[in-house]
């Protein structure tokens, strides 16, 4: 799975993992959000090689990159990808059938309210009240009990035909989260684990 705009990635700098966000992808050139002041000393020098890692649903990917330039006036880092993306870890992401309120919409446009069909730390499915399309960026607000999470997501599957969901017409839509902070991921993992059905041992 390749890099996409708004995707959260980590730069491997020695023994440190530094988190940033993809702004734009042009061929093998990738524009990244500059590191915050507190971590700016970890910014690679032009010509310096490093590894980039990111998650895509069930898979952790890794790819070599080399710093091309730091556009300090913006501020943006421009890196060049080298070789091909490699699978560094593949594991099953638990997904639970759970109904929680989710508000969604295109950023800065009209918003809609529905409930989820299922949920994992990688993404969710929900019946959209309007037809959506693959690759569309959405902003979501999830209400998980006392916690409210605001996340960005990308549509990875969208039905073209409406179906009946709980007595209302809707278009089944699946999204993948693009950017999750440590706090958001922790809340999601705890929520998903709390709704997993315990395995029944057969003896």
The answer to whether position 122 is within a domain reads: yes
CA distances 94 to 16, 91, 97, 189, Å, are 28, 9, 10, 9
Return the higher-pLDDT residue of 185 and 148. Answer: 148
pTM, two decimal places:
0.59
pLDDT of 2 over the 80 cut: no
184 phi/psi in degrees, rounded to 5? -60, -45
Domain containing 14 equals 8-90
Regarding whether 133 and 71 lie in a shared domain, the answer is: no
Confidence grade of residue 70 (pLDDT, cut at 50, 70, 90): very high
Last residue of a domain, one of 41, 70, 90: 90
Tell me the three state secondary structure of residue 186: helix
**pLDDT tens sequence across 149-168:** 999 998 988 998 999 998 88
Regarding whether 73 and 108 lie in a shared domain, the answer is: no
User: What is the phi-psi region of residue 55: left when phi exceeds 0, alpha when psi lies from -120 to 50, beta otherwise?
Assistant: beta
CA gap 120, 55 in Å, rounded: 13
Count of structural domains, the chain = 2
The answer to whether position 61 is within a domain reads: yes
What pLDDT, on a 0 to 100 scale, did the predictor assign at position 56?
A: 67
The secondary structure element, H or E, covering residue 137 is: strand 137-144
Return the higher-pLDDT residue of 200 and 12. Answer: 12
Tokens of 130: 């309007």
Beta-strand relationship, 163-165 and 118-119: unpaired
Last residue of a domain, one of 90, 120, 144: 90
CA gap 130, 7 in Å, rounded: 25
On the question of a cis peptide bond just before residue 189, with omega within 30 degrees of 0, the verdict is no
Last residue of a domain, one of 64, 90, 116: 90
Regarding whether 81 and 111 lie in a shared domain, the answer is: no
């Amino acid at each position: 799975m390749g890099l996409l705009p708004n995707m959260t990635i980590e730069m491997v700098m020695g023994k440190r993992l530094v988190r940033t966000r993809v702004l734009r992808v042009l061929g093998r050139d990738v524009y990244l959000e500059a590191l915050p002041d507190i971590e700016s000393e970890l910014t690679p020098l032009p010509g310096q090689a490093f590894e980039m890692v990111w998650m895509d649903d069930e898979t952790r990917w890794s790819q070599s990159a080399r710093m091309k330039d730091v556009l300090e006036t913006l501020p943006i880092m421009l890196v060049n990808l080298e070789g091909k993306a490699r699978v560094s870890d593949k594991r099953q992401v638990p997904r639970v059938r759970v109904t929680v309120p989710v508000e969604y919409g295109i950023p800065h446009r009209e918003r809609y309210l529905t409930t989820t069909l299922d949920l994992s730390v990688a993404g969710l499915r929900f019946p959209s009240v309007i037809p959506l399309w693959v690759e569309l960026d959405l902003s979501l607000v999830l209400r998980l009990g006392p916690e409210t999470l605001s996340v960005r997501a990308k549509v990875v599957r969208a039905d073209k035909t409406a179906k009946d969901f709980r007595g209302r017409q809707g278009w089944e839509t699946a999204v993948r989260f693009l950017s999750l902070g440590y706090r958001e991921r922790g809340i999601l993992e705890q929520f998903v684990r709390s709704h997993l059905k315990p395995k029944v041992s057969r003896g």
